[in-house]
C-alpha cells in the first residue's frame, strides 16, 4: 500500500465531532501527498465557522504522525467548495450566513495598518481605543493579526470567548473594550497558528460577522504587516470608514509603509491620518531627546499620504513595560490624549467630506 | 448583459504577450465575480515563472476599470492546474521544472526568522552576510519578504535582475553578495505587491530554483513576519540547514517570536542560534546604556529556544542611517564581527551534530 493510501486509511479514524462521520466518508480529504516521509494533507471543512476547528487538524496530525515511515506532517484546512458540499450533503444545505451581523450596530470601522511590522501598529490600535474609551465612547478591537497577535497580551486578557445567544461574545477589557483575537482561542499564548491565506481570510470574516459586538461607536482593526491575505481581506470585506497608517522614522520603514498606503488607495479606502511611532527617546537623566532611529520624517509622511499627522509618539520604556504587563489601559501620557483628539477630529472631517461627496 | 459577462468580454482585449492569444481564448479567466460595482477576477497563468507577469495583472485591471459601473477591481493571479494547462495546450506541455537548480551549488541555507516584524530580522540577515563576506566566504541573500522587502534598499541596489544562460541572474552588492528580492523587479520601490498566498509561495520557489546563484558557501533567507504562507513555504520547500531567530527585549515580541520557533520545531528545522536586537541604546553623550524596550531577555530567549545566543545588538543610529543610505556594507562594529564568528561556530557545531545523528 502506498504511503498516500495508508494515510487515507488512517484518516478513516478521524471523526468530525459535529457530524459524527469520518473525514473520508464525508469527502473532506481533498489531497494527500507523501514524499520521503513528509506528508501533506489538505482537509476541506464544511465551513470554517470557528477557530476551534483546529481540533480536527490536531486529530489528523495525531492519526498520521503515528504511521511508520512518516517523519513530518503538514495539515492544511480549507473550506469545501459548493460541489464538495453538495456531494457530502445534497444540494439542500446552503452556505452559512454570518451569524451575529444582524444584532451588531457598529458606527465607524478603522483599520490600523503599517505594512511594516514592529513599528507599533498594535500599540497605536490599543492607545486609540484607550483614548476614546476614556472619553466615554464605545470602542471595540478586532485583532486581524492571526500569526502575531499582540492585543490580548497588551490588555492582560486570557479568557476564552464564550458563546452568546447567536454568535461568540468578545472578551471585555477592564475598562470595557470588547476584544476578539486568535490568541484568546489558543491554549498557550505562544502557540503558532500555521495557516495559509484562505484560512486566515475566513477567520477574519468570522471575527467580524460571527461575533456579538453589539453597539459600538468605533471599531479598530489591527492589521498584520504586509500587503497579502489578511490586510487584503480586511480592506475588501469589512465596511471600513478609513485607515490609520503607522510608521517609524526610518526611511526603510517609510518605504514599506508607503506600499501599504498604496494598497489602501488601490482598494479605495481613505487614509484618515498618520502616526509616527518611536520618533525619539527622551533620556530620563538629561531630558535630552535622541532620534535613535534617524531624523523624524513625520511631516514628510503626512504630506506623502495626503493625511493629517495625528501624533508623534516617543519610545517610552513605561509604555513597553505596561504593555508587557497587560496594563496598557493604565498608560497615561499627554501624547495619548492628543492622539485621541486628533483622530476624532480627522475622522469627523473625513465623515463630513464623505457626506458631501 | 450581466457585469460578469461584460468583464469577460473586456478580457478578450487582454493578450498574453508571450502566447499572443487573449486570456479568454487561453482559458486563463478562472473566475469573475461582481457585486455592487466591485469586481474580482482570478487569472490562471500558465506558469508564475517570473514576477514580470505583473504586467498581465495591470492590463486586466486597466481593461476592467474602464467598464461603466465598475468602482473597484481586484485581480488575483494563480497558476493553471494540470487540467487547465492540458485544455489550453494539449497534454504535450509538462509543468516546468526549476530552471537553474542544476547549475547551483549552495552549501548551507539558513532562514532568518522572527515571527514578529520590526525586530530587525532584515538587519540581522544583512549583517550576517556582510560579516561572512568580510571573511572571504561566498554568501547570497534570498529576500523571501515579498510584501515588505528591505534587503535591496539596505544594500543600495536598484538594478533589475538580468536573464542569464538558464535562469535569472541575482544582483550583486558592492562587496559581491548576490541578492534576489521582489523589490528589484518593481518599477518603484514603494509599489505594493498585493498577492495572496499561492502567488507568494510560487515567487519564493522561483527565487530559489530559477535564479543562477552559482557556487555559494552560505545562503541567508530573509523571512517576512508571521507564520503563514511565506515562512511556511520556505520552511517546507527549501533545503534548510537551520534557522536563526531574531527577537527584541519586549516580552510581547518574545511571545510572537516563540510562535515562529514552534513553527520551525513542528517542521523539524533546527534553530542554530538566537539574536537579540535593540537590546539597549548607548547614550552618545554619557555612554550610559538605556534598555528602552525593557530589560534584556536574551539569555531567557536562548534557554527557551535551546539555542546559543549569537549576539545582543544595540540600537545604533549609525546602523539605521547606513541602512537608509544603502550602505550596510560600510557598517563596522565589533558586534557585527562577533555575530559572524558566533554564527559560524554554531553552524559548524550543528553540522557536526547532524553528521553524527
pLDDT value at B50 more than 50: no
Rounded to whole angstroms, the Cα distance separating A117 from A113 reads 9
Quote the pLDDT of residue B233: 93
A309-312 and A289-290 beta bridge pairing: unpaired
Residues of B in contact with A118 (CB under 8 A): 116-119, 225, 248, 253
Residues of A in contact with B189 (CB under 8 A): 255
Q: Which pLDDT band holds residue A47 (cuts at 50, 70, 90)?
A: low
CB-CB under 8 Å, B288 with A228: no
pLDDT value at A96 more than 70: no
CB-CB under 8 Å, A197 with B228: yes
Which of A66-75, A76-85, A325-334 has the least mean pLDDT? A76-85
Q: Which pLDDT band holds residue A13 (cuts at 50, 70, 90)?
A: confident
| Phi-psi region at B150: left, alpha or beta (left = phi > 0; alpha = psi -120 to 50) | alpha
Report the b/e string of A296-306 with b at 16+ CB within 10 A.
bbbeebbebbe
Q: Which pLDDT band holds residue A355 (cuts at 50, 70, 90)?
A: low
Quote the pLDDT of residue A24: 86
Quote the pLDDT of residue B171: 98
Which of A24-38, A145-159, B15-29, B196-210 has the least mean pLDDT? B15-29
Quote the pLDDT of residue A151: 97
Quote the pLDDT of residue A155: 98
Q: Which pLDDT band holds residue A94 (cuts at 50, 70, 90)?
A: very low
Q: Angle, nearest 10°, between helix axes B54-65 and B3-11?
A: 130
CB-count exposure of residue A20 (10 Å: 0-12, 13-18, 19+): exposed
Residues of B in contact with A226 (CB under 8 A): 147-148, 224-226
> For chain A, what percent of residues have pLDDT higher than 70?
93
Quote the pLDDT of residue A91: 40
Rounded to whole angstroms, the Cα distance separating A272 from A310 reads 9
Nearest CA in chain B to A319: B293
| DSSP string covering A6-75 | HHHHHHTT-B-TTT-SBTTTTT-EEEEEEETTEEEEEEEES----GGGHHHHHHHHHHHHTSTT--EEEE
CB-CB under 8 Å, B198 with A252: no
Assess A71–B contact: CB distance below 8 Å, yes or no.
yes
Residues 296-315 of A with CB under 8 A from B: 315
Assess B105–A contact: CB distance below 8 Å, yes or no.
no
Residues of B in contact with A113 (CB under 8 A): none
Q: Which three cell numbers stand for residue A233?
A: 481581506
Residues of A in contact with B150 (CB under 8 A): 252, 255-256
CB-CB under 8 Å, A192 with B266: yes
Chains A & B: contacts with CB separation below 8 Å: 212
Rounded to whole angstroms, the Cα distance separating A52 from A202 reads 13
Residues of B in contact with A194 (CB under 8 A): 227-228, 232, 263, 266
CB-CB under 8 Å, B224 with A262: no
Q: Which three cell numbers stand for residue B257?
A: 517570536
> For chain B, what percent of residues have pLDDT higher than 70?
93
CB-CB under 8 Å, A194 with B227: yes
Quote the pLDDT of residue B54: 74
Beta strands across the sheet bearing A215-222 = A171-172, A178-180, A139-143, A215-222, A105-113, A240-247, A271-276, A309-312
Which range, A254-268, B96-110, B129-143, is most confident? Answer: B129-143
Rounded to whole angstroms, the Cα distance separating A212 from A215 reads 9
| DSSP string covering A170-211 | PEEPTTS-EEE-GGGG-SSTT------HHHHHHHHHHHHHSB
Residues of B in contact with A190 (CB under 8 A): 255-256, 258-259, 262
Q: Which of the two residues, A12 and B52, has the higher pLDDT score? A: A12
pLDDT value at A357 more than 70: no
| Mean pLDDT, range A306-327, rounded to an integer | 96
pLDDT value at A33 more than 60: yes
Asked whether this complex has an ipTM greater than 0.85, the answer is: no
Assess A292–B contact: CB distance below 8 Å, yes or no.
yes
Decide if B201 contacts A228 (C-beta within 8 A): no
Q: Which three cell numbers stand for residue A162?
A: 464564550
| Mean pLDDT, range B56-83, rounded to an integer | 85
Nearest to B122 by CA among B95, B149, B101: B149
Q: Which of the two residues, A20 and B232, has the higher pLDDT score? A: B232
Quote the pLDDT of residue A118: 92
Which residue in B148, B227, B251 is closest to A225 by CB distance?
A: B148
| Mean pLDDT, range B37-56, rounded to an integer | 75
Q: Tens digits of per-residue pLDDT, B113-136?
A: 999 999 999 999 999 999 999 999
| DSSP string covering B65-111 | HTSTT--EEEEEEEEPPHHHHHHHH-TT-PPPPPSSGGG-EEEEEEE
Q: Tens digits of per-residue pLDDT, B285-307?
A: 999 999 999 999 999 999 999 99
Quote the pLDDT of residue B89: 64
Element of type H or E holding B250: none
Nearest CA in chain B to A292: B317
Q: Tens digits of per-residue pLDDT, A109-127?
A: 999 999 999 999 999 999 9
pLDDT value at B188 more than 70: yes
| Mean pLDDT, range B91-108, rounded to an integer | 73
| Mean pLDDT, range B51-58, rounded to an integer | 72
* Candidates B64, B114, B148, B253, partner chain A, best to mutate (most A CBs within 10 A): B148
Quote the pLDDT of residue A173: 98
What number of other Cβ atoms are within 10 A of residue A56's Cβ? Answer: 20
pLDDT value at A251 more than 70: yes
CA distances (Å), origin A148, targets A183, A288, A318, A348, B122: 9, 34, 22, 31, 17
Amino acid at each position: 500500500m502506498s504511503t498516500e493510501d495508508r494515510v487515507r486509511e488512517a484518516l478513516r479514524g478521524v471523526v468530525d465531532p459535529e457530524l459524527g462521520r469520518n473525514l473520508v466518508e464525508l469527502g473532506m480529504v481533498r489531497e494527500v501527498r507523501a514524499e520521503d516521509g513528509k506528508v501533506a494533507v489538505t482537509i476541506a471543512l464544511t465551513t470554517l465557522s470557528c477557530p476551534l476547528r483546529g481540533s480536527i487538524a490536531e486529530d489528523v496530525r495525531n492519526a498520521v504522525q503515528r504511521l511508520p515511515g512518516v517523519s513530518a506532517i503538514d495539515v492544511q484546512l480549507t473550506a469545501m467548495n459548493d460541489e464538495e458540499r453538495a456531494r457530502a450533503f445534497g444540494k439542500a444545505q446552503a452556505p452559512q450566513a454570518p451569524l451575529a451581523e444582524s444584532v451588531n450596530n457598529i458606527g465607524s470601522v478603522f483599520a490600523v495598518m503599517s505594512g511594516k511590522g514592529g513599528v507599533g501598529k498594535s500599540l497605536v490600535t490599543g492607545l486609540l481605543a484607550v483614548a476614546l474609551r476614556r472619553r466615554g465612547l464605545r470602542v471595540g478591537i478586532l485583532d486581524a493579526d492571526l500569526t502575531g497577535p499582540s492585543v490580548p497580551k497588551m490588555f492582560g486578557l486570557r479568557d476564552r470567548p464564550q458563546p452568546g445567544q447567536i454568535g461568540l461574545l468578545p472578551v471585555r477589557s477592564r475598562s470595557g473594550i470588547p476584544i476578539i483575537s486568535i490568541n484568546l482561542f489558543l491554549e498557550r499564548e505562544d502557540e503558532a497558528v500555521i495557516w495559509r491565506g484562505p484560512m486566515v481570510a475566513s477567520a477574519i470574516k468570522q471575527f467580524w460577522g460571527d461575533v456579538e459586538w453589539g453597539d459600538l461607536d468605533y471599531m479598530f482593526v489591527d492589521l498584520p504587516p504586509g500587503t497579502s491575505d489578511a490586510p487584503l481581506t480586511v480592506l475588501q470585506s469589512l465596511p471600513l470608514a478609513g485607515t490609520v497608517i503607522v510608521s517609524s522614522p526610518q526611511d526603510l520603514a517609510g518605504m514599506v509603509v508607503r506600499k501599504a498606503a498604496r494598497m489602501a488607495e488601490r482598494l479605495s479606502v481613505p487614509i484618515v491620518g498618520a502616526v509616527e511611532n518611536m520618533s525619539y527617546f527622551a533620556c530620563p537623566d538629561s531630558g535630552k531627546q535622541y532620534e535613535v532611529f534617524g531624523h523624524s520624517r513625520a511631516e514628510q509622511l503626512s504630506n506623502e499620504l495626503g493625511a493629517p499627522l495625528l501624533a508623534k509618539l516617543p519610545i517610552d520604556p513605561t509604555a513597553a513595560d505596561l504593555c508587557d504587563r497587560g496594563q496598557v489601559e493604565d498608560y497615561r501620557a499627554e501624547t495619548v490624549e492628543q492622539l485621541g483628539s486628533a483622530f476624532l477630529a480627522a475622522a469627523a472631517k473625513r465623515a463630513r467630506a464623505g457626506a458631501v461627496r
